[in-house]
Chain A
Amino acid sequence: MVMKNPKLARVAQGARLELVPLQVLVPVVSTIIALGIGLLIIAATGASVIEAIEAFWDGMAGSDFNIGASINRAISLALVGLGFIFASRANLTNVGGEGQIAMGGMFATAAALHGAGGLPLGLAFIVPLAVGTLAGAIWGGLAGVLKAARGTNEVISTLLLSFIALPLVYWSVESFHLLRKPISDVSSLPESAEIPDSTKLPLLFPDNGSPLHIGLLIAAIAVVVVWLVLRHSSLGLRLRAVGLNAMASRRAGMRTSFYVILAMTVSGGLGGLGGAIMILGQQFYLTSDFSSGYGFDGLVVGLLSRGSAVGVVIGALLFGFLRSGSINMEISAHVPSAVVLICQGLIVIVIAGSAILTNRKVTR
C-alpha cells in the first residue's frame, strides 16, 4: 500500500540512500569544522598557522615513531571506549574510566615490579596485564554491586570511585613502602621504579624504531569480542533486555542484578586493561598522573561511537592522533595544546549536536 504512492516510495528510498553516508559524513564534516575553528584560534594566538599545522601533522604521523605513538595512545582510548559501550548496552553509564585506568595501571605496575619479571613464556607481561584488568574490573564491579544492591546511580558512583582511585595512585607513588622507587643518587621524584624489561610489552616492529606494541593485537581482539558479544550473543541480548526494561527481564527469568554487576565488571576490566597497557607498553613507570585524562577521552570516544565497536576504533584513532599532534604542536610551534583540547570539545559538541539531526531524519 505504501509503495503504491510514488511520492512516499521516493521518500523511503531517499532515507535509505542517505542513511549510510550520513553516519560517516556527519563526524567527518564536524571534525573538519572543529579543526577549522581551531586554526582560527591558533591564528588568534599569534602563532604561525602554517608552522602549527606542520608541527601538528609531524606529531601525528610525521614518522614511523610518531605514527606508532599515536596508535599506542589510541589503544588505551579504544579499550576504555569499548568498556563504555559494553556498560551502555545494559543502559549503564560508566564515567569512571579514569579511575579504572588508574587502578589497572597501579596494580599492573605492582605486579610487574614484584614478582612477574622473572616469569617465563611471556607470562612476565601477561600476568601484570591480567592483574591490571582484574583491578579495573573490581573497581567497575563495585559500582555495579552498589547499583544492584542499593540502586545507587552508577554515574555518581563511578565518578566518585575515580576520585578515590587517583589519590590512591598518588599515595602509592609517594610511599616508599608501596611503589615509590628508592631514593637513589639523583632523582627523588614521586614515581615508581622502571618495570623490568621482561614485563614490557613486545614491540610489533622492533626494527624500524616504531614504539607500536602488541597492545594493538590485544585491542583488536577486544574489539572483535565486544562486537560479537554485544551484537550477536545471547549475553548481549540479555544485557540489552535488562537495560531496556528490568521488570520485564526479571519476569522473563533473568537475574537482573547479576547482569548489572557483570556489565560494570567487564566495563571496568576493559578500562583496567587500558591502564595496564599504558604502563607496560609506553610509560614503563608509574607516576601520580599517568592516566592524565585518558579515561575521560575514552568516555568521549565511547559516547561518540553511539554503541558501535567500529565507531570506538575510529574515535580512538582520531583522539589518539589528535593528542600526539597537539603535544608536538606545543613543543615545536609553541601553540598551547589547550587549542587541541578546545578542538576536541568542539568535535564532541558538533557530532553530538548533529546526531540529534540524523536521528530525527532516520526515525521520521
Chain B
Amino acid sequence: MAVLELSGLTKRFGAFTALDDISLQIERGEVHCLLGENGAGKSTLCNLVFGVHRPDAGTMTLGGEPFHPRGPAEALQRGVVMVHQHFSLVPNMSVAENLMLGRASAVLKPQDIIVRMEQLAAEYGLEIDPEARIEDLSVGERQRVEIIKCLLGDPQLLVLDEPTAVLQPDEIDALLAICRQVALRGKSVILVTHKLGEISRVADRTTVLRQGRIIETVAMEGADIRSLVRSMVGRDVQSAGSVLAAAVDIEGKTPAKPSGAAGPVSPGEAVLEISDLVYRDPHGVPRLDGLSLTVGTGEIVGIAGVEGNGQTELGLILAGLAAPSAGAIVVGGAQVGGCTPQEITDAGVGIVPEDRHAVACIKELSVAENLYLGAIGKFSRFGLLDKSARRKAAEAMMRDFDVRASSPDVSMASLSGGNQQKAVLARELSLDPLVFLLAAQPTRGLDVGAIEAVYNRIRAARDDGLGVLLISSELEELMAVSDRIAVIYRGKLVGELAAGSFSREAIGAMMSGHAHV
C-alpha cells in the first residue's frame, strides 16, 4: 500500500522547470532511493514533500488522504519528517535539550525525552548520550541526533537528503543499517543520493531523476547497476570509465589504475618537500603534528583522511593563507613555508583551494575578472584596465578549458559549480612558471561530466611533469587518480600505499587510526 503518492507534480522556479510531471508511489516499509546528478531535481522533490515549496501543478496524497502541506510544520504534523544536508541543531546545548526544541509544550519534561531515547536506542540501535553537548559530537553523531529528532514523533515517512555526503565509511554503514531498521518497522524512507554503491546496499526500489523528469523506477532485486548509471547520466558508462565509477562510488568496480591514463610515471626529482610541518591553531591545538611528505615531478600523490585531521590546514599553509608553526616547505629548491601567497605563486605553485566560494573565486566578479584575479595588472595601461584585451584573453582561456558561460562578462555566481571549478583550474594551470599543483577537494559538489574534466586536467598536468598533491575525502576518487596515496590521521601521515596496492579496507583502517603499514 502506498504511503505517499505523487501524481503529475510540476515545480518551476522562474523560467526553470525543476520538476516536470513527477508521478511516484512510495510504499509502506520500503527504502526508496532518489538517484540523480546535481540539479536533477532530487532536493526540490524532497522540499515539495516536506512543504518547503509548493508544487505548481499535480497532487499528493499521504496515507490515502490529500496532502498539500503549506509548510514544514504541516508536513511534520502529518508524519513526514526530513533530515536536511545542513543540520539544525544548537551547538552549545545538550542532545536532550535539542530534542526538546520545537516540541516544547509549556512544561518541559526531560525525563520523557530520555525514556523515549532509550526506546529508540533499543529499537534502531540509535545510541547517544543525552547529556552530551552537540559541539562535542562528530558529524555522524550529530546526524544521528537529527534522525532521533525525526523519529521521536513516530512518523510515517522519513526523508534523508544526501545524508552520506558528510560521513566516513563506517558511519555510512551504520546509517544504511538504521534506514533498514526504520523500514522494517513499517515506516518508509526516501533516501537521496548520487552514489550507486549505497543504493545497491540499502534500497528496495530506486527512482532515477534527470533534468527534472523521472527516467525510470526500478526494483533493486536483480537490477543492473550499469543501466542505472546510464539512466542517471544520460550516456553510456563505457565512455567515462573509471571516472564515473569513482564519481558514483560503485564499489569493487574501480580498476586500480585508470585505463585511459598514461600509467604510473616514474616520479622524477622532488618538486615539493614538506618536512616536520607543525601547525597550531589560535587556541594552541596542534592541527598538523610533524607531517613530512615528498611529491616528485610527474606524479599525483593523494592524501586520504577523515575530514578534520589536518587536510584543510595543510591546504591553507600551502596556499600561503596560514603560517606554519614549525617545519619547512620547499618547492623546486625554494623555501616557501610562511611566504605570502604572491611569493608562493611566483615559486610556481598552483592552488585549487578546498573552499571554492570563500577562497578560489569571487562570485560577484565576472568570469574574466576571476580568471585574471592574480594578474589584474596584466591588462592595465597607466592604471586603467583594458577590458577588451582581457575579454579576448579570457575567451581563449575559456575555450581551452571548456568553461561554459555565455560571455566572459557574466558573474562567476551564474556558472554551475563544474564550470566555476574549470575556471579555477584554468587560472591555476595557466600560471607561469608552474611546477606544482595542489588540488584540495577538487570535485566536491560537481556533476559527473565536470568531475571527468577535472580528473583529465589533473592527469594531463601530471603527464606534463607537474607534481600534484590531491587532497580528497572521496576514497574512490583518490584510488582512481593517484599514483600514490598517503593517509593523514591527527595531523600526521600514518601510512602510504603505492599504485596497484590500493585497498579500501587498508586505507579505511588507517584513516580511523587503527592500523599502520
Q: How large is the interface on B (under 10, 10 to 19, 20 to 34, 35 or more residues)?
A: 20 to 34
A253 touches B359 (CB 8 A): no
A8 touches B15 (CB 8 A): yes
B385 touches A232 (CB 8 A): yes
The answer for the CA separation of A8 and B341 in the assembled complex, in Å, is 46
B362 touches A248 (CB 8 A): yes
Judged by a CB distance under 8 angstroms, whether B373 is at the interface is yes
Judged by a CB distance under 8 angstroms, whether A245 is at the interface is yes
Most buried by B among A229, A238, A244, A251: A251
The answer for the CA separation of A176 and B377 in the assembled complex, in Å, is 52
Q: Whose C-beta in chain A lies nearest to the C-beta of B14?
A: A364
Judged by a CB distance under 8 angstroms, whether B337 is at the interface is no
Judged by a CB distance under 8 angstroms, whether A249 is at the interface is yes
Tell me how far the C-beta of A237 lies from the nearest C-beta in chain B, rounded to whole angstroms.
6
The answer for the CA separation of A266 and B15 in the assembled complex, in Å, is 44
Instruction: Return chain A residues, CB-CB under 8 Å to B351.
Output: 251
Instruction: Return chain B residues, CB-CB under 8 Å to A232.
Output: 384-385, 387
The answer for the CA separation of A240 and B369 in the assembled complex, in Å, is 11
Instruction: State whether A234 and B385 are in contact (beta carbons under 8 Å apart), knowing that A245-B362, A252-B374 are contacts in the complex.
Output: yes
Tell me how far the C-beta of A148 lies from the nearest C-beta in chain B, rounded to whole angstroms.
15
B373 touches A248 (CB 8 A): yes
Tell me how far the C-beta of A15 lies from the nearest C-beta in chain B, rounded to whole angstroms.
12
A253 touches B345 (CB 8 A): yes
Instruction: Return chain A residues, CB-CB under 8 Å to B369.
Output: 237, 241
Tell me how far the C-beta of A2 lies from the nearest C-beta in chain B, rounded to whole angstroms.
6
Instruction: State whether A238 and B376 are in contact (beta carbons under 8 Å apart), knowing that A233-B383, A233-B385, A248-B361 are contacts in the complex.
Output: yes
The answer for the CA separation of A175 and B359 in the assembled complex, in Å, is 53
Instruction: Return chain B residues, CB-CB under 8 Å to A252.
Output: 341, 373-374
Report B382-417 residues with CB < 8 Å from chain A CB.
Answer: 383-385, 387
Instruction: Return chain A residues, CB-CB under 8 Å to B340.
Output: 253
Most buried by A among B353, B358, B362, B364: B362
Tell me how far the C-beta of A235 lies from the nearest C-beta in chain B, rounded to whole angstroms.
6
**Which one of A2, A228, A233, A244 contacts B362 once the chains associate, using CB atoms below 8 Å?**
A244
The answer for the CA separation of A251 and B356 in the assembled complex, in Å, is 12
Count A-B pairs with CB separation below 8 Å.
Answer: 68
Instruction: Return chain B residues, CB-CB under 8 Å to A247.
Output: 321, 358-359
Tell me how far the C-beta of B428 lies from the nearest C-beta in chain A, rounded to whole angstroms.
10
**Which one of B374, B379, B383, B385 contacts A253 once the chains associate, using CB atoms below 8 Å?**
B374
The answer for the CA separation of A247 and B361 in the assembled complex, in Å, is 9
A248 touches B341 (CB 8 A): no
Judged by a CB distance under 8 angstroms, whether A5 is at the interface is yes
A248 touches B385 (CB 8 A): no
Tell me how far the C-beta of A223 lies from the nearest C-beta in chain B, rounded to whole angstroms.
17
Instruction: Return chain B residues, CB-CB under 8 Å to A250.
Output: 320-321, 341
Q: How large is the interface on A (under 10, 10 to 19, 20 to 34, 35 or more residues)?
A: 20 to 34
The answer for the CA separation of A235 and B377 in the assembled complex, in Å, is 9
**Which one of B342, B353, B358, B373 contacts A241 once the chains associate, using CB atoms below 8 Å?**
B373
Report A1-27 residues with CB < 8 Å from chain B CB.
Answer: 2, 5, 8
Chain A residues touching B, majority SS: helix
The answer for the CA separation of A252 and B365 in the assembled complex, in Å, is 14
Tell me how far the C-beta of B153 lies from the nearest C-beta in chain A, rounded to whole angstroms.
38
Instruction: State whether A240 and B15 are in contact (beta carbons under 8 Å apart), knowing that A233-B383, A233-B384, A245-B358 are contacts in the complex.
Output: no
Report A247-306 residues with CB < 8 Å from chain B CB.
Answer: 247-253
Judged by a CB distance under 8 angstroms, whether B319 is at the interface is yes
Instruction: Return chain A residues, CB-CB under 8 Å to B320.
Output: 250-251
B364 touches A244 (CB 8 A): yes
The answer for the CA separation of A245 and B360 in the assembled complex, in Å, is 10
Instruction: Return chain B residues, CB-CB under 8 Å to A251.
Output: 319-321, 341, 351, 353, 359-360
The answer for the CA separation of A232 and B384 in the assembled complex, in Å, is 6
**Which one of A5, A235, A248, A249 contacts B383 once the chains associate, using CB atoms below 8 Å?**
A235
Tell me how far the C-beta of A16 lies from the nearest C-beta in chain B, rounded to whole angstroms.
16
Instruction: Return chain B residues, CB-CB under 8 Å to A8.
Output: 15
Instruction: Return chain A residues, CB-CB under 8 Å to B380.
Output: 233-234
Most buried by B among A2, A8, A233, A364: A233
Q: Whose C-beta in chain B lies nearest to the C-beta of A1?
A: B15
The answer for the CA separation of A2 and B17 in the assembled complex, in Å, is 12
A253 touches B341 (CB 8 A): yes
Report A209-252 residues with CB < 8 Å from chain B CB.
Answer: 228-229, 232-235, 237-238, 240-241, 244-245, 247-252
What 1/0 mask marks residues of chain B from 335 to 367 whose CB sits below 8 Å from any chain A CB?
000001110010000010100001111101100
Most buried by B among A233, A237, A244, A252: A252
Q: Whose C-beta in chain B lies nearest to the C-beta of A5?
A: B15
The answer for the CA separation of A180 and B118 in the assembled complex, in Å, is 82
B358 touches A253 (CB 8 A): no
Instruction: State whether A228 and B384 are in contact (beta carbons under 8 Å apart), knowing that A234-B377, A238-B376, A247-B358 are contacts in the complex.
Output: yes
Instruction: Return chain A residues, CB-CB under 8 Å to B358.
Output: 245, 247-248
The answer for the CA separation of A259 and B98 in the assembled complex, in Å, is 44
Instruction: Return chain A residues, CB-CB under 8 Å to B361.
Output: 248
Instruction: State whether A234 and B383 are in contact (beta carbons under 8 Å apart), knowing that A248-B373, A250-B341, A253-B341 are contacts in the complex.
Output: yes
The answer for the CA separation of A325 and B440 in the assembled complex, in Å, is 63
Instruction: Return chain B residues, CB-CB under 8 Å to A238.
Output: 376
Tell me how far the C-beta of A250 lies from the nearest C-beta in chain B, rounded to whole angstroms.
6
The answer for the CA separation of A344 and B387 in the assembled complex, in Å, is 39
The answer for the CA separation of A247 and B380 in the assembled complex, in Å, is 23
Q: Whose C-beta in chain A lies nearest to the C-beta of B377?
A: A234
**Which one of B341, B365, B387 contacts A240 once the chains associate, using CB atoms below 8 Å?**
B365
**Which one of A228, A233, A248 contacts B359 once the chains associate, using CB atoms below 8 Å?**
A248
Instruction: Return chain B residues, CB-CB under 8 Å to A245.
Output: 358, 362, 364
**Which one of A234, A241, A253, A364 contacts B365 once the chains associate, using CB atoms below 8 Å?**
A241
Tell me how far the C-beta of B390 lies from the nearest C-beta in chain A, rounded to whole angstroms.
10
The answer for the CA separation of A234 and B379 in the assembled complex, in Å, is 8
Tell me how far the C-beta of B137 lies from the nearest C-beta in chain A, rounded to whole angstroms.
28
15 A-B pairs besides A245-B358, A252-B374 with CB distance below 8 A are A5-B15, A229-B383, A233-B383, A235-B383, A240-B365, A244-B362, A244-B365, A247-B358, A247-B359, A248-B358, A248-B359, A251-B319, A251-B360, A253-B345, A364-B14
- 10 residue pairs from A and B, CB less than 8 Å apart: A2-B15, A228-B384, A233-B384, A237-B369, A241-B365, A244-B364, A248-B361, A248-B362, A249-B373, A253-B345
Chain B residues close to A by CB (< 8 Å): 14-15, 319-321, 340-342, 345, 351, 353, 358-362, 364-365, 369, 373-374, 376-377, 379-380, 383-385, 387
Task: List the 9 closest pairs (A to B, CB-CB), nearest first.
Answer: A253-B342, A234-B380, A252-B373, A252-B374, A245-B362, A234-B376, A233-B383, A253-B374, A244-B362
